[in-house]
Amino acid sequence: MRLSRDIKSMTASVTEMGELAAEMLEKSVAALVNSDMALAEEVKKKYDHIAFLEALIEDEALRILILYQPMASDMRLTATALKTITYLERIGKYSKNIAKAAIYLKDRPTTFRMEEVYAMCDVAVEMVRGVVTAFESKDISSLENYGKLDDKLDHYRVTVIDGNIAHMRVDTAAIEAYTYYISIAKYLERVGDNACKIAEKIIYMVSGKRIEIDRPLRGL
């Protein structure tokens, strides 16, 4: 059936876009920590493919809606795809911004320790990969802990911001560099926010229930 084939193709494209967004996020932080400018440039270039996939999937989704006028379940999946690609594009842009920050910070060494940034990246990547898997498999059980993961990101963000403000007081010559680390923490926290929004859409797609991710997902 053509509808089934087109939905399968759209789902594969969303999965590709999500996996690319997670990869970009990992590589942007690796570029930052290792002062790897080649990797940072690679991440910046990959954003173009994120933008391409967003346009491609939007066309695929609109084609499905116009040609087939799908029934409820397929309609929800297609609508979720349209929402998801918007959030994934933002995640790709945050990764690009981190890569640009890595390039800026290469020649501006500071005494800031990167452990919390690494930890934030691990959580954020886990959340992005989790929603991509849930969209593809329609299994929402893994999304039940997203409120806790989002809280963890918030905690790390506060730790990074407080740590950098403390460093600014002693290392005044590097204040601008420390503000970049604060921005990076905010980008990573926003990745989690966008992953939570995707999770909410996927839960509605599968269960028909509308929830806010910071509330317990009882009965799902």
Look up the CATH number of the domain holding residue 43: 1.20.58.220
Residue 141 domain-assigned (yes or no): yes
| 219 has pLDDT over 80 | no
- Global confidence as pTM: 0.92
Residue 212 domain-assigned (yes or no): no
Could you report the per-residue pLDDT of 142-163, keeping only the tens digit for each?
998 999 999 999 999 999 999 9
pLDDT bracket for residue 183 (50, 70, 90): very high
Residue 129 domain-assigned (yes or no): yes
Mean of the per-residue pLDDT values of the chain: 92
Residue 220 domain-assigned (yes or no): no
Residue 50 domain-assigned (yes or no): yes
pLDDT (0 to 100) of residue 66: 94
| 111 has pLDDT over 80 | no
| 213 has pLDDT over 90 | no
Could you report the per-residue pLDDT of 28-77, keeping only the tens digit for each?
999 998 999 999 999 999 999 999 999 999 999 999 999 998 999 999 99
Residue 217 domain-assigned (yes or no): no
Residue 166 domain-assigned (yes or no): yes
Average pLDDT, stretch 117-125? Answer: 93
C-alpha 17/C-alpha 71 separation (Å) is 25
Residue 216 domain-assigned (yes or no): no
Q: How would you label 13-48 residue by residue, b for 16+ Cβ within 10 Å and e otherwise?
A: bbeebbbbbbbbbbbbbbbbeeebeebbebbbebbe
Domain count, the chain: 1
pLDDT (0 to 100) of residue 14: 98
C-alpha 23/C-alpha 21 separation (Å) is 5
Domain hosting residue 7, numbered range:
2-207
